[in-house]
């Protein structure tokens, strides 16, 4: 009678693999804190989970009585998360060595945060959703405050923690109200449950509170105030991790909630209006405030807010194309932002995790470190949305979905906002390649050796962006097949 247990365990195997490797890393760390094998072990675990998820890309299943979705869209989102985590692990090793905080538990915490993100992205019920979200968040609070001797890192961690826990309160209240309105925790039974109890008022209140929690986690305006402060003070490679993988997981979970838990007329009505207004405001505010920033990390933080707006435009469309476009965008965004933060981490000199490092200090760095200069160029052009890079395809998919759903004004706002964004992205490139080296302060001009692993990861990220931009066909088809009308009716 326990046959299902074995079958269901196999379906969530990738999550279990990452968790087991995380525990192994903690144990190894307890005996040999600086063991060079720790990052190798962490990386191997992530690669194994990535391959396992790859096999399930076209095989959507439900496990543990609907509590978890496995395969299909969940596999796609988990692969994005694992890609971000893998890049961050490899980039973190030389970076943490340089700032003198190369602890083994960093990798364990990255792995546990990844477990939380994968659980979040595979959630099939409100309970799984909450547990995944909190596993991820608690690990990220610790990673933010990693450099505990420094005031800036303390401040980031405290702000992230207090505001994150505050938003969790709203998220949880939303879950309680949804449960109270439907009598079930499972996404797939919510619409039926609502029809039985007819507590529509409580249900709408629950959806609103749940959306507040999600919008906070993906840092959409007006819940974005924490983002720049947290990104500025956190260790740079880990900023790359939390700005990409956690966002991918939260967006994937939001897509699942919209597509599978909420009634169609609500998604096409009030939710669409809310999301499209939030998306428009987020794109405009994020890009305009980014123009005024002098700190590069802070600028990229506002840029990540703006990108949350682009992805929300795809979600606001409320169609299979929109959701699929958002998933593709998350993949492209993860690759380009992990890369951009990786370059910044390599160019960091201020011994405060880039908190006081302004854009002028990058002057002439393109000639001193041509690999960093060229890859940064690729990442920044992709972030702006230039063809033939993946960022362009992602933007095209979400805006095309918005136009198809009748939200032409939103697409127009989005395209105009991207034009504005070109100014601050390309300014970084101008400083890197066209300003004389003497503009940078003395400390920034010290020569340093670039770690081989950094070179490899950054080149692979740039290459992947190019490949996804030139031949995105299969990936787009896969992403958009998960949420078309037929697939949703089948409950998958």
Q: Which residues bind another protein (CB under 8 A)?
A: 126-127, 130-131, 134, 138, 141-142, 145, 148-152, 154-159, 161-162, 165-166, 168-169, 172-173, 175-177, 179-180, 183-185, 228-229, 232-233, 292-293, 295, 298, 355
- For residue 270, the tally of other CB atoms under 10 A from its CB is 13
Provide, rounded to whole angstroms, the least separation between the CB of residue 236 and another protein. 15
As measured in angstroms, the least distance from the Cβ of 228 to another protein is 7
Closer residue to another protein in complex, CB, 179/223: 179
Rounded distance, CA 93 to CA 43, Å?
11
Question: What is the Cα–Cα distance from 134 to 130, expressed in whole angstroms?
Answer: 6
CB of 19 to another protein, least distance (A): 15
Tokens representing residue 178 in the block: 């949804």
Tokens 């699942």 sit at which residue? 256
Question: Which residues are CB-neighbours of 380 under 8 A, at least 6 positions away?
Answer: 340, 425, 426, 428, 429
Closest CA to 82 of 42, 110, 48, 46: 46
Q: How near is the Cβ of 172 to another protein at its closest, in Å?
A: 5
Nearer to another protein, 267 or 306 (CB): 306
Could you tell me whether strands 61-63 and 68-70 are parallel, antiparallel, or unpaired per DSSP bridges?
antiparallel
Residues across the chain? 492
Please identify, using beta-carbon distances, which residue of 131 and 412 lies nearer to another protein: 131
Q: Pick between residue 168 and residue 303 the one whose CB is nearest to another protein.
A: 168
Classify residue 429 as exposed, middle or buried by CB count within 10 Å of its CB (0-12, 13-18, 19+). middle
Q: Which residue, 141 or 433, has its beta carbon nearer to another protein?
A: 141
Q: What is the smallest separation between the CB atom of 387 and another protein, expressed in angstroms?
A: 33
| Choice between 177 and 457, CB closer to another protein | 177
For another protein, give the closer residue by CB, 354 or 364. 354
Residue 154 Cβ vs another protein, minimum distance, rounded to whole Å: 4
- The tokens for 320 are 């299979």
Comparison of 127 and 412: residue with beta carbon closer to another protein = 127
Closest distance between another protein and the C-beta of residue 201, in Å?
Answer: 12
Q: How many CB atoms lie within 10 A of CB 1?
A: 4
68 phi, psi to nearest 5 deg: -135, 135
Minimum distance from CB of 119 to another protein (Å)?
12
């Amino acid at each position: 009678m326990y046959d299902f247990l074995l079958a269901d365990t196999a379906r969530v195997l990738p999550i279990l693999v990452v968790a087991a490797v995380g525990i192994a890393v903690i144990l190894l760390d307890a005996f040999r804190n600086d063991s060079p094998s720790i990052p190798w072990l962490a990386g191997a675990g992530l690669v194994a989970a990535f391959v396992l998820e790859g096999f399930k890309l076209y095989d959507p299943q439900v496990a543990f009585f609907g509590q978890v979705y496995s395969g299909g869209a969940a596999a796609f989102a988990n692969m994005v998360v694992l890609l971000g985590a893998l890049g961050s692990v490899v980039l973190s090793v030389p970076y943490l060595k340089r700032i003198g905080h190369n602890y083994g538990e960093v990798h364990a915490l990255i792995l546990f945060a990844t477990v939380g993100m994968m659980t979040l992205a595979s959630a099939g019920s409100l309970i799984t959703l909450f547990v995944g979200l909190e596993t991820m968040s608690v690990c990220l609070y610790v990673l933010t405050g990693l450099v505990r001797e420094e005031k800036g890192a303390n401040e980031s961690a405290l702000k992230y923690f207090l505001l994150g826990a505050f938003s969790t309160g709203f998220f949880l209240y939303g879950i309680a109200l949804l449960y109270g309105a439907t009598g079930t925790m499972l996404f797939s039974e919510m619409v039926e449950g609502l029809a039985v109890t007819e507590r529509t008022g409580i249900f709408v209140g629950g959806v609103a509170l749940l959306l507040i929690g999600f919008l906070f986690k993906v840092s959409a305006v007006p819940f974005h105030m924490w983002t720049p402060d947290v990104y500025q003070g956190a260790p740079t490679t880990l900023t790359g991790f939390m700005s990409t993988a956690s966002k991918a997981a939260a967006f994937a979970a939001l897509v699942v909630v919209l597509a599978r838990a909420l009634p169609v007329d609500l998604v096409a009505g009030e939710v669409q209006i809310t999301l499209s207004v939030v998306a428009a405001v987020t794109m405009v505010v994020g890009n305009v405030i980014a123009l005024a920033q002098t700190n590069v990390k802070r600028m990229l933080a506002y840029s990540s807010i703006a990108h949350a707006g682009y992805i929300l435009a795809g979600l606001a469309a409320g169609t299979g194309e929109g959701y699929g476009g958002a998933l593709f965008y998350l993949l492209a965004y993860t690759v380009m932002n992990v890369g951009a933060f990786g370059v910044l981490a390599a160019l960091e000199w201020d011994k405060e995790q880039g908190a006081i490092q302004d854009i002028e200090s990058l002057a002439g760095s393109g000639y001193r470190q041509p690999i960093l200069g060229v890859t940064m160029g690729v990442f920044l052009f992709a972030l702006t949305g230039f063809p033939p890079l993946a960022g362009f395809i992602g933007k095209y998919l979400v805006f095309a979905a918005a136009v198809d759903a009748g939200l032409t004004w939103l697409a127009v706002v989005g395209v105009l906002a991207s034009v504005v964004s070109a100014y601050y992205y390309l300014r970084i490139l101008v400083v890197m390649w066209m300003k004389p080296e003497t503009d940078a302060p003395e400390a920034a001009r010290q020569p340093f050796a670039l770690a081989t692993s950094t070179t490899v990861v950054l080149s692979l990220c740039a290459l992947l962006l190019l490949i996804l931009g030139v031949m995105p066909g299969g990936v787009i088809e896969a992403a958009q097949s998960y949420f078309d009308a037929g697939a949703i009716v089948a409950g998958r």
